[in-house]
């Protein structure tokens, strides 16, 4: 699989999300993600707005489904999402329902192992239940909480190679990656690179990061897309 760059629109205002998405696509980003904060703030109307503005671009709806799997996936597909996210810690039946809805409505399912006691086993379970992709995810609160104690902040790179070796579906690493770490992901065998906080979204205010973000994104995209598998 060729490297894919996805921007996580973890914003709370649809107009800012649309502006950030336009800038990101100019810079070479491939996929857009309607982040959880955006869906909470705007509902599926936010996904619809992204689809209306960008009719040909893949859109990940990161609702982090835990229950009501079929209905939630159906609703996100109806709003224009091409990819939906179900959590590994959801009940097996919920994951199966999301996978079935994915097949019924022509969308792809991404299984997220956030908070799983055994990240590798969770990734394998997600694949076995039919997920098209695995998201290896170290959470926002977990990272910040551990860092506040003075301990080393955990990174999705810590177990990324193990995850990649354990499954045959494409893997995405998420959770506080630095610029260099994000660019390294394809070398770990994880071709789907997510750019979010703190690279493109301010991790405290949940607003678009300052500086010449478009130029930075363009350089990041060029380096990731240049990787040869």
116-155 burial code (b ≥16 CB/10 A, e <16): beebbebbbbbbebbbbbbbbbbebebbeeeeeeeeeebb
pLDDT in tens, 55-84: 999 999 999 999 999 999 999 999 999 999
pLDDT in tens, 87-141: 999 999 999 999 999 999 999 999 999 999 999 999 999 999 999 999 999 988 8
Q: Is 210 exposed, middle or buried (0-12, 13-18, 19+ CB in 10 A)?
A: exposed
Average pLDDT over residues 187-203: 74
Residue 125: predicted pLDDT = 98
pLDDT in tens, 128-182: 999 999 999 998 888 888 888 988 878 899 999 999 999 999 999 998 888 888 8
Contact call for residues 107 and 82 (beta carbons, < 8 A): yes
Cα–Cα dist 98/160, whole Å: 25
Average pLDDT, the chain: 91
CA-atom Rg of the chain in angstroms: 16
Cα–Cα dist 42/11, whole Å: 10
For residue 191, what is the domain's CATH number? 3.20.20.70
Domain range for 113: 4-225
Q: Is 187 exposed, middle or buried (0-12, 13-18, 19+ CB in 10 A)?
A: exposed
Residue 207: predicted pLDDT = 47
Cα–Cα dist 18/90, whole Å: 31
Cα–Cα dist 197/176, whole Å: 6
Residue 187: predicted pLDDT = 94
pLDDT in tens, 47-63: 999 999 999 999 999 99
Could you give the percent of the chain with pLDDT greater than 90?
76
Instruction: Point out which residues pair with 166 in neighbouring strands.
Output: none
Contact call for residues 83 and 61 (beta carbons, < 8 A): yes
164 prior amide bond cis, ω within 30: no
Helix segments in 63-185, DSSP class H: 69-79, 92-105, 119-128, 140-148, 160-166, 179-184
Cα–Cα dist 139/24, whole Å: 23
Number of domains forming the structure of the chain: 1
| Whether pLDDT at 85 is above 60 | yes
Confidence of residue 203 (pLDDT cuts 50, 70, 90): very low
Residue 1: predicted pLDDT = 86
| Whether pLDDT at 22 is above 50 | yes
Confidence of residue 214 (pLDDT cuts 50, 70, 90): confident
Average pLDDT over residues 29-36: 97
Average pLDDT over residues 19-34: 96
| Whether pLDDT at 16 is above 70 | yes
Kindly report the pTM of this predicted structure.
Answer: 0.91
């Amino acid at each position: 699989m060729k490297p894919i760059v996805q921007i996580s629109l973890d914003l709370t205002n649809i107009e800012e999300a649309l502006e950030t998405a336009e800038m990101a696509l100019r810079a070479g980003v491939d996929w857009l993600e309607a982040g959880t904060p955006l869906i909470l703030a705007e509902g599926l109307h936010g996904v619809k707005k992204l689809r209306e503005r960008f009719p040909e671009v893949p859109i990940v709806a990161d609702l982090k489904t835990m229950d009501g799997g079929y209905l939630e996936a159906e609703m996100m597909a109806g709003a224009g999402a091409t990819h939906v996210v179900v959590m590994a810690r959801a009940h097996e039946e919920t994951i199966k329902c999301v996978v079935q809805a994915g097949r019924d409505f022509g969308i792809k399912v991404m299984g997220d192992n956030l908070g799983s006691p055994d990240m590798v086993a969770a990734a394998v379970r997600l694949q076995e239940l039919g997920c098209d992709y695995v998201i290896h995810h170290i959470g926002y609160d977990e990272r910040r909480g551990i860092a506040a104690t003075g301990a080393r902040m955990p990174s999705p790179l810590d177990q990324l190679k193990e995850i990649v070796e354990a499954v045959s579906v494409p893997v995405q690493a998420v959770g506080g990656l630095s610029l260099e770490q994000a660019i390294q992901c394809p070398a770990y065998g994880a071709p789907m690179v997510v750019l979010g906080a703190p690279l493109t979204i301010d991790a405290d205010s949940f607003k678009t990061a300052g500086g010449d973000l478009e130029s930075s994104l363009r350089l990041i995209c060029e380096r990731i897309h240049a990787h040869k598998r």
